[in-house]
A and B are shown apart, each in its own frame.
Chain A
Amino acid sequence: MTGEPSDFDPQTLWQSQPTEHDPMTLAEIHRRSHAFEAKVRRRNLIEYVACGLVIAGFTPVLFARASWMMQAGAGLAIAATIFVGWQLHVRASAGRTPAVGDALVDFHRQELIRQRDALRSVGLWYLAPFVPGMTLVMMGRWFQAHAAHRALALDHMLILVTSGVTVLVFLGIWLLNLYGAKRLQQRIDDL
């Protein structure tokens, strides 16, 4: 120890720290608030554009008369995209006004529970809606709409590989989110 007083007072010591920053001016606060809102609008716009691209990708399939299964699948995939876009909007809006004035114990627990539930429910609202549409599109390709310029066996192989990769990606996203939710649950239990 190097010269600390025996009547050490942590409160005085702590509060005696020099300040390095001036408080933010109101103009700066307003500017940052506007910047934050613009950032949220940009993020929302990107999500809506992504949804629009997915819908644009499935729309030609919806009107092609080659396979009713693929048409139905495309319709369901478009409906799933609209549903997921709406869910993103609802969830982002809800998260924009966290109850930061709540008592600390409540906020900390609620924050962890909110994050856990978001991860736990990804399979339900983000992945599951696409399953019926994607399944029908793949079934349509398999049973009703072979590529004319390709051998049947090769075409089936391509469909199987594409389906397999899609299933693995969906499964991977789902399991990663469940793992994250499990870790958060452990921290909630520790509180």
Chain B
Amino acid sequence: MGGAIPGKSKAVQDERYGRAAVTFGPALERLARAYEADPDQRQDLLQEIHLAVWRSFAGYDGRCSERTWVYRVAHNVATSHILKRRRRRAEVLLTLDELAAHGDPQQPSPEAEAGDRHAVARLTALVHSLAPADRQIVLLYLEGLEAAAIGEICGLTPGAVATKLHRLKAVLANRFNRGGSDDR
């Protein structure tokens, strides 16, 4: 990718972005919320994602759907955001396997404590504790994508995605349906 496709004008790029912003705008906002807890930095991240999506459409070659493309760009930008942030401050992020086996060892954040009353905040807190690779899968699942589509976006086999989702559902059931041993 990289350079613009010959014959494709900036107007096409604008048109694609406009369509994507309307279709995926709310999902991108939820994605930013799942990657950044700080409201100011979250807004910056969201704007960075939108800008990256627009810029990326200059190199969009149609080999995957626009939905796959937008999710890839957004998650890649957000993952880079996490990597930069982790260089500045140490964060313990967990895989789904670790969460399922040991629970979340981190101290409850104000958001998580508020989560006793608000399930969305608790779900967000859980997503925040995940390592990037698992966070991407969980977020795509929460957006309602099928295992095959998640696999295409992430570059994983549907089987690998299904295994992760199975683990995720166990974690969710433990935390939400039964009150969970690691409930706060």
Set B14, B47, B120, B156: member contacting A105, Cβ < 8 A: B156
Do A29 and B79 form a contact, CB below 8 Å, given A23-B25, A103-B153?
no
Is residue B148 within 8 Å, beta carbon to beta carbon, of the partner chain?
Answer: no
Chain B interface size band reads 35 or more
Q: Are A32 and B25 in contact (CB under 8 A)?
A: no
Q: Are A100 and B52 in contact (CB under 8 A)?
A: yes
With both beta carbons as reference points, the residue of chain A lying nearest to B55 in the complex is identified as: A33
Q: Are B155 and A17 in contact (CB under 8 A)?
A: no
Q: Which of A5-13, A53-61, A132-140 contacts B (4 or more CB under 8 A)?
A: A5-13
Is residue B21 within 8 Å, beta carbon to beta carbon, of the partner chain?
Answer: yes
Using Cβ atoms and an 8 Å threshold, which residues of chain A touch B117?
A: 2
Set A23, A36, A107, A111: member contacting B72, Cβ < 8 A: A107
Q: Are B72 and A100 in contact (CB under 8 A)?
A: yes
Query: B20-35 CB contact bits vs A (8 Å, 1 = yes)?
Result: 0110011001100100
Q: Are B156 and A23 in contact (CB under 8 A)?
A: no
Using Cβ atoms and an 8 Å threshold, which residues of chain A touch B47?
A: 24, 32
Most buried by B among A22, A33, A36, A98: A98
Most buried by A among B77, B116, B177: B177
With both beta carbons as reference points, the residue of chain B lying nearest to A191 in the complex is identified as: B133
Q: Please count the residue pairs between chain A and chain B whose beta carbons lie under 8 angstroms apart in the complex.
A: 128
Total residues of chain A contacting the partner, CB 8 A? 39
Using Cβ atoms and an 8 Å threshold, which residues of chain A touch B7?
A: none
Using Cβ atoms and an 8 Å threshold, which residues of chain B touch A2?
A: 116-117
Q: Are B120 and A17 in contact (CB under 8 A)?
A: yes
Is residue B104 within 8 Å, beta carbon to beta carbon, of the partner chain?
Answer: no
Q: Are A4 and B176 in contact (CB under 8 A)?
A: yes
Using Cβ atoms and an 8 Å threshold, which residues of chain A touch B125?
A: none
Using Cβ atoms and an 8 Å threshold, which residues of chain A touch B153?
A: 103-104
Is residue A186 within 8 Å, beta carbon to beta carbon, of the partner chain?
Answer: no
CB distance from B85 to the nearest CB of A (A): 14
When A and B form their complex, which 8 residue pairs have the shortest distance between CB atoms, in order from nearest? A103-B155, A23-B21, A14-B142, A105-B155, A23-B25, A1-B179, A107-B76, A97-B2
Further 17 A-B residue pairs, CB within 8 A, beyond A17-B33, A104-B72? A1-B179, A8-B177, A13-B123, A14-B123, A14-B142, A23-B22, A23-B50, A33-B54, A99-B1, A100-B52, A100-B56, A101-B73, A103-B155, A104-B136, A107-B79, A111-B79, A111-B80
| CB pairs A–B below 8 angstroms (5 shown) | A4-B119, A23-B25, A97-B2, A101-B59, A111-B83
